[in-house]
Amino acid sequence: MIYEINETHDPSLKSWVESANDPNTDFPIQNLPFCMFWPGQQSESPRLGMAIGDQIFDLYTAISSGLFGADFDEIAQEMELCDLSFLTEVYGPEVLADIRRAAFDVLREGAPDDLVRDAKKCLVAAKGIDPELPFEIGDYTDFYCSIYHATNVGSMFRPDDPLLPNYKYVPIGYHGRASSILVSGTDIKRPHGQNRSDAEAPPVFIPCKNLDYEMEVGFFVGGGNEQGTAIPIEEAEQHIFGLCLVNDWSARDVQAWEYQPLGPFLAKNFATTISPFVVTMEALAPFRTQAFERDAGDPEPLEYLADEENEKLGGIDINLEVFIQTQKMRDENIAPHLLSKSNMKDLYWTIAQMLTHHASNGCNLQTGDLIATGTISGKHKGERGSMLELSWRGTEPIELPNGETRRFLEDGDEIIMKGYCEREGFRRIGFGECRGRILPAD
């Protein structure tokens, strides 16, 4: 079941929060993504919130003060404990949809004066707060669903046969590590690892030389499945809570040496950064699009991965941008430089197919699990979602506006990822930022 367009998507709707009506904001009233945030230094636990314009709407205060009315009395009693994981697990994802709808009614232009007066007390400037991870993430899986990325990387190693024979049948993935997932804005220390760039000599244990980013989108599981049961593709979207941006930091030199035969390990699990806001599937409804159009010679998906609605609307049109700002650029006051643009609709597999495939052997997914798409690259050169591809394994250095060049990331480099949806007849919505800066190795 994919959300239908409803009155919350009406592009003419405005909020009394002025900054939410700025045409360039990521967070108009049509978006209202969830987050967890630290309201101040005296606070002992993060709070449930929601982005609106340049403000965070403190849902903890709103619900516990009764702003949303008697329907939320039971939750208000337990608000002390309430985070996204708790609410989704205990009350079900539907309750978050109800909270979002209640916030929508209070934040919209024309809401009753007394509600507006009380709601104003729940707003805090987004600039002044620290975000927290939106969910308690129990497990993290990363897929490999961009055929352009897979073809680029494959052709560096196997020019004649870049795509492995399983690619068009199996959504390829690996189990990542949840403990090292970080929220946007956290610094990343350059990892150590085994490097065997000299094929004639034994490997050496040194700071990573070929540090990279990967532009990805992730989705959170909202409501899992019992171990031993599968999730039919027709029901997959009901288990998907919402989306965020993901940077799957990658140590390419470590990866090249360690990956055979079991795939990525220490090259990936030192850090993964995500954006703090979870854009809901309801907010994304206007931007749904058809699944990847397979070439005439490609196999059809196997039956458990095939569904008519998924084929028609399983894709999502999200514009993705990656920027870099080096230490020197910061010193010289040069704005971040755009490295690439790509789009999530170019993925070979949809998020419903990823989720269904993941659970197809009876593997139990759980609320708060993060499932990422893999690097999202497009067909063209400017659409490559990693530095490995942009610099073609370091052989074609990238030129920056101040004359610096990059093959891979240097200490002091900051990577900033952005995502937004635009469609004629609808309000633009965005994801905010996913940023991280590289610190030197120990």
Separation CA 247–CA 249 (nearest Å): 6
To which H or E segment does residue 60 belong?
helix 59-64
Q: Residues 58, 214, 282, 413: which binds Mn ion (CB under 5 A)?
A: 214
Separation CA 207–CA 193 (nearest Å): 6
- The region of 207-215, 225-233, 323-331, 351-359 touching Mn ion under the rule CB under 5 A is 207-215
Closer of 214 and 253 to Mn ion (Cβ): 214
Give residue number: closest CB to Mn ion: 248
- Identity at 395, one-letter amino acid code: T
Separation CA 18–CA 54 (nearest Å): 9
Q: CB of residue 250 vs Mn ion: minimum separation in angstroms?
A: 7
Q: Write the Ramachandran bin of 392: left for phi over 0, alpha for psi from -120 to 50, otherwise beta.
A: left
Question: Does 383 help bind Mn ion (rule: CB under 5 A)?
Answer: no
Residues 6+ apart with CB under 8 A from 323: 336, 337, 338, 339, 415, 416, 417, 418
Closer of 64 and 272 to Mn ion (Cβ): 272
Q: CB of residue 268 vs Mn ion: minimum separation in angstroms?
A: 7
Helix, coil or strand: residue 49: strand
Which residue is it, tokens 């609709």? 345
Q: Residues 58, 83, 89, 142: which binds Mn ion (CB under 5 A)?
A: 142
Binding mask 22-41 for Mn ion (x = CB under 5 A): --------------------
Separation CA 193–CA 258 (nearest Å): 10
Closer of 89 and 248 to Mn ion (Cβ): 248
Size of the site for Mn ion (CB under 5 A): 3
Q: CB of residue 55 vs Mn ion: minimum separation in angstroms?
A: 33
Closer of 150 and 438 to Mn ion (Cβ): 150
- The region of 28-36, 47-55, 57-65, 208-216 touching Mn ion under the rule CB under 5 A is 208-216
Closest by CA to 284, choosing from 315, 323, 309, is 315
- The region of 5-13, 121-129, 211-219, 237-245 touching Mn ion under the rule CB under 5 A is 211-219
Q: CB of residue 131 vs Mn ion: minimum separation in angstroms?
A: 22
Closest by CA to 178, choosing from 141, 149, 211, is 141
Closer of 214 and 389 to Mn ion (Cβ): 214
CA angle 17/18/20 to nearest 5° reads: 75
Q: CB of residue 408 vs Mn ion: minimum separation in angstroms?
A: 16
Closest by CA to 290, choosing from 307, 268, 315, is 315
Closest by CA to 292, choosing from 381, 380, 168, 384, is 168
Closer of 89 and 142 to Mn ion (Cβ): 142
Q: CB of residue 416 vs Mn ion: minimum separation in angstroms?
A: 18
- Residues that are catalytic: 149
Q: CB of residue 10 vs Mn ion: minimum separation in angstroms?
A: 37
Q: Residues 58, 248, 258, 389: which binds Mn ion (CB under 5 A)?
A: 248
Closer of 84 and 254 to Mn ion (Cβ): 254
Indicate the DSSP class of residue 296.
T
Residues in the chain: 442
- The region of 131-139, 140-148, 164-172, 235-243 touching Mn ion under the rule CB under 5 A is 140-148
Residues 6+ apart with CB under 8 A from 45: none
- The region of 209-217, 331-339, 343-351, 376-384 touching Mn ion under the rule CB under 5 A is 209-217
Q: What are phi and psi of 113, to 5 degrees?
A: -55, -40
Binding residues for Mn ion, rule: CB under 5 A, are 142, 214, 248
